[in-house]
Structure 1
Amino acid sequence: MNKVLIIGIVASGKTTLAQHLSLSTGIPWFELDSIVHHQIESIRIKRTADEQAEVISHIDRQGAWIMEGTDRASYQFLYDMADIIIFLDPLLWKRKLRIFTRYLKQKLGIEPCHYKPDLKMLRLMYQWTRDFEQNRPAFEYKLRSYGLKVIRLTDNRPSRSDKLLRRP
């Protein structure tokens, strides 16, 4: 498996898993949020859907990749491109706790981020979590169409994730 899409909602462990898999396999990792929101000096600019597709297509032409992010309409084609789709789905209480812990770490300067860690962003993360849970049936339905390509994990422990890319 050389094209891996890691998908999940805020604070599900996508970045942690992607970093680990990238280090253990040598496959380059790309954060989809950085593709959507391009950083130019101190300004973040949102790319159009066509610009995002162009960047992703360029990465795809280079070979193997690991991409991680939330489920966005602008890059639905990644589900078809991926050899394997990992859906990170930890328990809701765990994600809510991670959101708050992340917020505190960012406010204290312990954890870097690409956005302003303020109360507005904290509220948005909880709102995105609520929205995901309300729309979960549609997301689950979409995942079913990808059959055996989909692996659901309720945690992102490295001991489990190393085995993922060794599937027959």
Structure 2
Amino acid sequence: MAISRIMIVGGPGSGKTWLARQLGLRHELPVYSVDEEVWDRNGALRAPEDIDARVRRLAAQDRWIIEGGNSRTYADRIQRADAIIRLSPPIWLRLYRVLRRDGLRIELFRWTLRYDTVFGAKDRLALRNGKATATCIEVRSDQDMQRLLRVGVECF
């Protein structure tokens, strides 16, 4: 099966951007980050309807990897995805990665701690909803990540 559309979700520090770039190279797919659609060039938060329209335009394309949240558009991506990947490494690892990447930004640290409570169920539901039409993968550890990269999305 040719993979041309991959949806990647998970909390801050889970490795979404890194994995998206690796898979983009492997599958020769353009990589898009939902965060880039959330914030404008000046760092201001876009209106929810603008964010949703921008992400839906990305999902309407023929080839993509879209990494990131915005659960309001999950259904649009799930419907078109060939693969849905949920990254859920241990919270201590996500916190460490966020701290290393962004320094001690208290709000981001708090959001990382709350992510599973707020969005964990939606992320798990994305995997269940996609089972009929897409390869669904949950990555819980570095070993899972290495296996995914070794065998590929098609064989995981």
Deviation for aligned residue 1:163: 3.2
- Aligned-partner residue type, residue 39 of structure 2: H
Quick one: distance in 1 between partners of 2:130 and 2:30?
23
1:83 aligned onto 2:85: no
Query: CA shift at 1:159, angstroms?
Result: 5.2
Question: Residues 162 and 59 of structure 1: is their aligned pair in 2 closer, same or farther, counting only changes over 3 Å?
Answer: farther
SS of equivalent to 1:6: strand
Consecutive aligned runs of 4 or more in structure 1 exceeding 4 Å deviation: none
Structure 1 residues not aligned, in runs of 5+:
105-118
Structure-1-length-normalised TM-score = 0.74
CA RMSD of aligned residues (A): 2.5
Give the deviation of 1:26 after TM superposition. Answer: 1.1
Match of 1:143 in 2: 127
- In the TM superposition, residue 54 of structure 1 has moved relative to its aligned partner by 2.9
Aligned match of 1:123: 106
Question: Shift in Å at residue 4 of structure 1?
Answer: 0.5
Partner Cα distance (1:53, 1:103) in 2: 26
State the one-letter code of the partner of 2:21: Q
Worse-superposed segment, 153-162 or 16-25 = 153-162
Displacement after TM superposition at 1:80 (Å): 2.3
2-structure distance, mates of 1:157, 1:137:
19
| Runs of at least 5 residues in structure 2 that lack an aligned partner in the other structure | none
| Cα distance in 2 between the residues matched to 1:14 and 1:29 | 11
In the aligned structure 2, how far is the partner of 1:80 from the partner of 1:46?
27
1:35 and 2:37 aligned: yes
Larger Rg: 1
Kindly indicate whether the alpha-carbon contact (under 8 Å) linking 1:49 and 1:75 is maintained by their aligned counterparts in 2. no
What is the match of residue 108 of structure 1? Answer: none
Alpha-carbon shift at residue 141 of structure 1 (Å)? 4.2
Instruction: Return the TM-score normalized by structure 2.
Output: 0.78
Taking the aligned partners of 1:73 and 1:6, their CA distance within structure 2 comes to 12
